[in-house]
Structures are given as structure tokens and as C-alpha cells.
Amino acid sequence: MAKYSRVSESVGLITLQNPPVNALSAAVRQGIVDTVERALSDPKVKSVVICGQNGIFCGGADIKEFGTNMSGPLLVPMIHAIEAANKPVVAAIEGSALGGGLELALGCHYRIAHSKARLGLPEVTLGLLPAAGGTQRLPRLIGVPAALDLITTGKPLDARRISTYPCPRPSDLDALFEGVMEKVRQSARGAIAPVACVQAVRAAATQPYTQGMEREKELMATLFTSGQARALQYCFFAQRAVSRWSMPNGARWDTSKPRPVHKAAVIGLGTMGRGITVALAQTGLSVIAVETQEKQLMDAKQAVSGMLERGARRRGVAPALDKISYSHDIQAVADVDLVIEAVFEDMGLKKKVFQQLASICRPGTFLCTNTSALDVDHLASQTHNPELVVGMHFFAPAHVMKLLEVVYGPRSSPQAVATAMQLGKKMGKVSVAVGNCPGFVGNRMLKPYMEQAFFLLEEGATPELVDRALEEFGFPMGVFRMSDLSGLDVGWRVRKGDGLAEPGAPSGQPARIRQGRRYSPLGDLLCEQGRFGQKTGQGWYQYNKPGSQVARSDPWLHSFLEGYRAQHGLVARRIDNQEVLDRCLYALINEGFRILEDGIAAGPEDIDMIYVFGYGWPRHRGGPMFYASMVGLGKVLERLEHYHQAHPDVPYLKPCSLLWRLVASGSPPLHKWREVIRKLHSQL
Ligand SMILES: CCCCCCCCCCCCC[C@H](O)CC(=O)SCCNC(=O)CCNC(=O)[C@H](O)C(C)(C)COP(=O)(O)OP(=O)(O)OC[C@H]1O[C@@H](n2cnc3c(N)ncnc32)[C@H](O)[C@@H]1OP(=O)(O)O
């Protein structure tokens, strides 16, 4: 696992060999210990070079070993031995030197990096800290501020010429650490690793090396066994696992060949269409951007150019303006490889667009819809080739958000799914293949979550109380602030389409019951008052002016809630954070289990990555399904039963059969759930 050779008579060359990223597994560590000893004891060897095979230095400690009984030589003494060597040791870095890989290089006496090499300490993203001396050696090498930045963010750096380095000059160390700690605590949203990273670097800056190393070890011991580290390491593998998609009909990522896409079209240049156009052009594709309204087309062209220019400036590249041609005529898409329809969320309009596309596009063109909830199969049925139709559900802003739901209908071909998944990957998205149902995975699970939040308001909570509980849990925004941001009218339109929201009192049924189940009309009532959220300056909160983002508590809303409760004979009671979390999160999780039961998502990892990358679920809690497994499935079941008994007219709180089945099978760990789901399906 570490090859030894002697080159040019006097140089001992050690090559790390552990594909694909030369991770420091027990065998690699043993190989390094053995080959270093060999080089140092060979009198002909005057210097030692350590490199990695296949163009990558080292991706760090082997993360797969973390959950196991670790054996083999320990990293810290191994790196110490290299640093203490009486012959010069050089790290020759090509590709990535990350985590333990960079710590190994830091233990060497010199480092030479290829100009395209990527160096970094991403441990914090795994809920850990660089505990092989990284928090102690890096500040000594590059100074405290630069080291703090690298260690607390985990972001990698390109290798640079030394003349381009900023000169590290911390003036007031205490103020510096206090400032960084404050910033880190705010952005960490409850994650403990970034805070521990600052504490470890502080030890490097204020204590002798040996004491600093002790502190590093102590902090790592706390992190290593934490639930957060487990969650973050789960996310690392889950993010990669979702690219290995499968469909209930047996089609899979490794047997379905994508078709290359060179030229794409976007139909409809509202907010979503603009973002999708930018994302495609930045990937290097030629894009035809179509908008039939002349004024909207001009506005979109200006907005898209601005987005491309700002993005290019940030990345230090030329803006891909020439990749896009704009047209108000849908006929312009005749010769593209793939079309993404992004018109207004209206089935009638979308059907018309699909009928037009079916007659304009050349045979074989993939037709994709960016709908966030509508029936992809119904749109496919408007075309002659339903097998070429899939959903590509982007999240706003589409050129920024990492998530893409690729929605297959019962007739979508494996090649169409493979092509959309590959295109998503090229755009830098985490693409997750999901089945077709109202809301797909993400928005379907959002419905019970939001419903519970509305019910909590009826029962005595305020938007502030609900949002605070969710934000303390780690969401960047609570449900009501989020609703104000995205616009209350969006959900209102959907509810009207579903026959739920009717202006004024509904005919022939109590105001808080719809279609035989409990319903809260609160959101509809706010919309009837023109309170659409940030865009109108009023929603669940008030804002200084329309478009402002600073939410302020709104006395009007509080008295409106009081009036509403009085009108419906509801008595406000005290609601605590735990009840908010239990009801909102367990209702959402319960729907996640139903989605698995229905075969809409292939596994819990798919759901978790959708929530982490698309809905702000705190990554250090691993996603809703991972969270359920950490809380304990028995407890989730018991709480759902408790709340369902208290609210029997709320079907979303009724524990679903997969959850019962999993608990009855002894609550197996999450990676075993697929077996239980398979058995359930085979019995249906
Ligand atoms: C009781 C308590 C005691 C406590 C004390 C315990 C002390 C323990 C001592 C530990 C000392 C600390 C050591 C160190 O500080 C810790 C670390 O080094 S943690 C690891 C840090 N490194 C990373 O996070 C890098 C992760 N990898 C990447 O970012 C990328 O993979 C890459 C290297 C940039 C390459 O990217 P790509 O080319 O795109 O390839 P993929 O990402 O698709 O990866 C390919 C394949 O490889 C798997 N893989 C990648 N890195 C690792 C790894 N470090 N370990 C294991 N496996 C890895 C990846 O999962 C892919 O496989 P797949 O999942 O697709 O099968």
C-alpha cells in the first residue's frame, strides 16, 4: 500500500497506493511506517520524497475506518517520526492533499505542489477536526488567521506562489479569536466541530506545541464519538450514493447509458428559467432561451447577463454570454438535444408547451419539465414519445442551489433518467432520481411539516415561537420566515387548484375541515388580505417595505390570531419548543417513510440529501431519515401515536406501516432499511 523505490541513486521514493484517493487506511499507514524506516536506514539514501499514485497525493484518513475498530499504526506518531527524520523528507503533491493527507505533508520538511493541486483540511465537514497535528502545524506554517480560515471552513485552496500569500499579522490575538468564534458560532447553526477547530488553533497560538497537541487530541476525542460526526460522515457517503440511482423497474445507473447533451433550450424566462439558463451556460452548453413575451425576454436577457457577469467575476473567468441565444419564437428549439420547460406552474399552460415541443423538436429530443409538483406523466402523455420525458426540478435560485430532483414517470426511459442525472452532475448539482407523485419527495414532505406549523398557530403558538424552535434545531430559517421569503401566494395557488382554499367561508362544511380532514385556512386568510410575504411587505411578519428581508414581529398578526381563535372557539395553550419540533419534524419524517413505502425514493439517503441540499436541513443532523434513526424509530413511532391520538382528524400524524414494520423488525440501522422495504414490497 506504499511502494518503495530508489531513484537517482540517492533519493528514496515512497508512493502511496490505495485507489481511488490513496486514503490513509491501516495498510497505507503500515506501508508508510515500513518504507520510511527503510529509507532512513539505507546509507545510500540522502533524501526522501513522498507522493501518491495516479495523480492524487492523498484524500486523508480512510473515513470508512472511523466507525470500526481501528487497527494499524496511529497517524500522529507516524507523522512525528517523519518530522523527526534525520534526512530531508519532501511531500510532492499532485491532485488533492486533504485532511490527514495534508497533515502528512505538513509533517514533511518541504512541500512542493503542482500548480493545480488542491490543499485543505475538510475534517470540520465530517464533524471532526484535523487531529494529526493539523491544528498545531498549520498555524505555525501560515499564521493564525489563514489557518483558522482553512480549518474552520474546510474549504480547499489551490496551490499558489508564495508571493501571492497575504502576510499573516495578527494584532490582538484575543480580539481575533473572539471575532472568529462569534462568526463561527453563527454560521455553524449548532455544529460543534467548527467551534472545536477554533479552540484547537487557539491552543496552537497560545501554548507550546506539545500542549497544543494534547488539546487537539482531547477535542478530537469529544468530536470523534459525537452524533454530529456520524451524521456528517453519513452525508459524505450518502451524497455519493445518490448518484448510483435505481428505478422500481430495475433500471440502474450502471446499466443505463446517458446521451451527450451539447445544446439545450429553456422555455420560459421567469425566475427559475433565468437561473436554469445561467446554470446551463456556465456548464459550457449552448443554450436557446425562449420567452414569448417581448418585454419579459428583454428583462430576462439583462438579468441573465448580469448573473453570468457577477458569477464570472467571482470565479475569475470570462462570462459565458456568447453561449446563449435568445428568442421569442418556440420554433427556435427545433435542433436542440434537450429542452427544459420552466413556464408558469399551470398544468394547462404546460400541456400546451409540451404539445408544441412534441411537434417542433427533432426526434429523440429529451423533454424535461421544471415543475415542482405537477404530474410529469400527464405532461409526457401530451407527446408522441413519453419515454423521453422526465422532470428536472431545480430549486431557486437555480444557478446557486445544489439540489436537482430528477423525476421519472412510469414511462420515462432509463436513458432519459441517466441523461438528466448526468447533466445535473455536470452543472455541479447533487442530483437525486425520484418517482412521480404530487410534490415528488421534497415538497410532498413539506406539506405535513407546514400543516403542523399552521395547527400550532391555531392552538396558541406564534410564528416567532415556531420559527425559533426550528432555527435552534439548525434550519437557516423557520417555516414562517421561509414562507414569507418564497411567497404565501405560491401555496395558496396550489391549495386553490386542489379545491382546498376558497375565499370566505366554504359552503356546506365547517371552516376548519376540508375533504373530511382537519384544515387550517390561516394561510388563505392572510392571502385574501394581500399579505404575500416579503414581496408585499407583510406576511407572517412585517417588513419595512416590500422586498425588504428583515422580518419584524407584527402586532396585527398576533391580534388576528387571537380573533381567529375566538371566532372558532379555540383556547390558546402554552406550546414549547419540544412540541414544535416533535410535531413538525415527525410529521415530515412520517411522510418520508410513506415515500419509501411507495417506492418514490429508492432509499433513505435520497430523502436525506434532498432535505440537506434543497431544504436547509442541518447537515450535522444528517437529514430527516438519519435523524429518525438517531432519535430511535421506537420513539418516533411512540410520539406520532401520541399526537395522532390527540389529533385523530390529522392523517399525516398516523404512523405509516413501514415505520411499524421497521420497529417490529427491531429498528435496524438505516443501511438495512432497504431490505425491510424490499420485503414489504414483495408481500404487496
Ligand atoms: C474514543 C475516541 C478516540 C478519539 C481519537 C481518535 C483519533 C483518530 C485519529 C484520527 C486522526 C485524524 C486524521 C485526519 O485529521 C482526519 C481525516 O483526514 S478525515 C478525512 C479528510 N478528508 C476528506 O474529507 C476528503 C474526502 N474526499 C474528497 O473530498 C474527495 O473524495 C476527493 C479526495 C477530493 C476526490 O474527489 P473525486 O475525485 O470527486 O472522487 P469522489 O469524491 O467521488 O471519491 C471517490 C471514492 O473515494 C471515496 N473516498 C474519498 N475520500 C475518502 C476518504 N478519505 N476515505 C474513504 N473513502 C474516500 C469516496 O467515498 C468515493 O467512493 P464511493 O463512495 O463513490 O464508493
Report the phi/psi class of residue 321: left, alpha or beta, with left for phi > 0 and alpha for psi in -120 to 50.
Answer: alpha
Lowest mean pLDDT among 40-44, 89-93, 145-149: 145-149
Predicted pLDDT of residue 264? 98
| Pairing relationship of beta strands 47-52 and 96-98 according to DSSP bridges | unpaired
Q: In which band, very low, low, confident or very high, does the pLDDT at 495 lie, cut at 50, 70 and 90?
A: confident
Grid cell locating 307: 448573473
β-bridge mates for residue 405, sequence order: 393, 432
Atom of ligand 1 nearest to the CA of 243: 65
Q: Which residue, judged by its Cα, is nearest atom 30 of ligand 1?
A: 59
CB 284 within 8 A of CB 322: no
CA 471 – ligand 1 centroid, Å: 30
Q: Which residue, judged by its Cα, is nearest atom 1 of ligand 1?
A: 221
Residue ranges of alpha helices (H) inside 242-367 are: 271-282, 294-315, 347-360
Among 1, 16, 21, say which to mutate for ligand 1: greatest number of ligand atoms within 8 Å of CB. 21
CA 72 – ligand 1 centroid, Å: 17
Please state the rounded mean pLDDT for residues 235-256.
Answer: 96
Please state the rounded mean pLDDT for residues 422-429.
Answer: 97
Q: Which residue, judged by its Cα, is nearest atom 26 of ligand 1?
A: 59
Between 161 and 528, residue with greater pLDDT: 528
β-bridge mates for residue 26, sequence order: none
Rg (C-alpha) for the chain, rounded Å, is: 28
Q: How far is CA 314 from CA 301, 308, 311, 439, 548, in A?
A: 20, 10, 5, 34, 25
Predicted pLDDT of residue 102? 98
Predicted pLDDT of residue 515? 80
Say what the pTM is.
0.92
Whether the predicted pLDDT of 165 surpasses 70: no
Determine whether 326 is exposed, middle or buried from the number of CB atoms within 10 Å of its CB (0-12, 13-18, 19+): middle
CB 265 within 8 A of CB 249: no
| Residues within a 6 A CB radius of ligand 1 | 20-21, 23, 59-64, 75, 96, 98-100, 103, 122-123, 126, 128, 130-132, 134, 220-221, 224-225, 237, 240
Please state the rounded mean pLDDT for residues 433-447.
Answer: 97
Atom of ligand 1 nearest to the CA of 70: 8
CA 185 – ligand 1 centroid, Å: 25
Give the span between the Cα atoms of 406 and 264, in whole angstroms.
Answer: 16
Residue count of the chain: 684
Give the span between the Cα atoms of 588 and 452, in whole angstroms.
Answer: 9
Q: In which band, very low, low, confident or very high, does the pLDDT at 67 lie, cut at 50, 70 and 90?
A: confident
Q: What is the identity of the amino acid at 50?
A: I
CA 220 – ligand 1 centroid, Å: 16
Predicted pLDDT of residue 306? 97
CA 595 – ligand 1 centroid, Å: 31
Between 682 and 534, residue with greater pLDDT: 534
Q: Could you identify the residue written with the cell 477547530?
A: 197
Percent pLDDT > 90 in the chain is: 90
Grid cell locating 593: 417513510
Chain segment 546-589, per-residue pLDDT in tens: 999 999 999 999 999 999 999 999 999 999 999 999 999 999 99
Residues annotated as catalytic (active site), given as ranges: 103, 123
ipTM > 0.90 (yes/no): yes
Whether the predicted pLDDT of 373 surpasses 90: no
CB 628 within 8 A of CB 656: no
Please state the rounded mean pLDDT for residues 357-369.
Answer: 97
Predicted pLDDT of residue 429? 98
CB 629 within 8 A of CB 670: yes
Whether the predicted pLDDT of 508 surpasses 80: no
Q: In which band, very low, low, confident or very high, does the pLDDT at 401 lie, cut at 50, 70 and 90?
A: very high
Whether the predicted pLDDT of 427 surpasses 90: yes
CA 99 – ligand 1 centroid, Å: 8
Q: Which residue, judged by its Cα, is nearest atom 49 of ligand 1?
A: 21
Among 63, 116, 126, 153, say which to mutate for ligand 1: greatest number of ligand atoms within 8 Å of CB. 63
Grid cell locating 231: 451524521
Percent pLDDT > 70 in the chain is: 97
Chain segment 607-636, per-residue pLDDT in tens: 999 999 999 999 999 999 999 999 999 999
CB 391 within 8 A of CB 338: no
Domains of the chain and any CATH numbers: 2-235 (3.90.226.10), 256-440 (3.40.50.720), 461-567 (1.10.1040.10), 577-682 (1.10.1040.10)
Chain segment 100-148, per-residue pLDDT in tens: 999 999 999 999 999 899 999 999 999 999 999 999 999 999 999 999 9
DSSP 58: B
Determine whether 507 is exposed, middle or buried from the number of CB atoms within 10 Å of its CB (0-12, 13-18, 19+): exposed
Please state the rounded mean pLDDT for residues 174-179.
Answer: 93
Please state the rounded mean pLDDT for residues 489-493.
Answer: 87
Q: Which residue, judged by its Cα, is nearest atom 36 of ligand 1?
A: 21
Q: Which residue, judged by its Cα, is nearest atom 28 of ligand 1?
A: 59
Give the span between the Cα atoms of 123 and 119, in whole angstroms.
Answer: 12
CA 237 – ligand 1 centroid, Å: 9
Predicted pLDDT of residue 161? 64
Q: Mean of the per-residue pLDDT values for the chain?
A: 95
Selection from 71, 138, 151 nearest residue 106 by Cα: 138
| Pairing relationship of beta strands 2-7 and 11-16 according to DSSP bridges | antiparallel
Question: Residue 184 contacts by C-beta under 8 Å, 6 or more apart in sequence?
Answer: 152, 194, 195, 197, 198
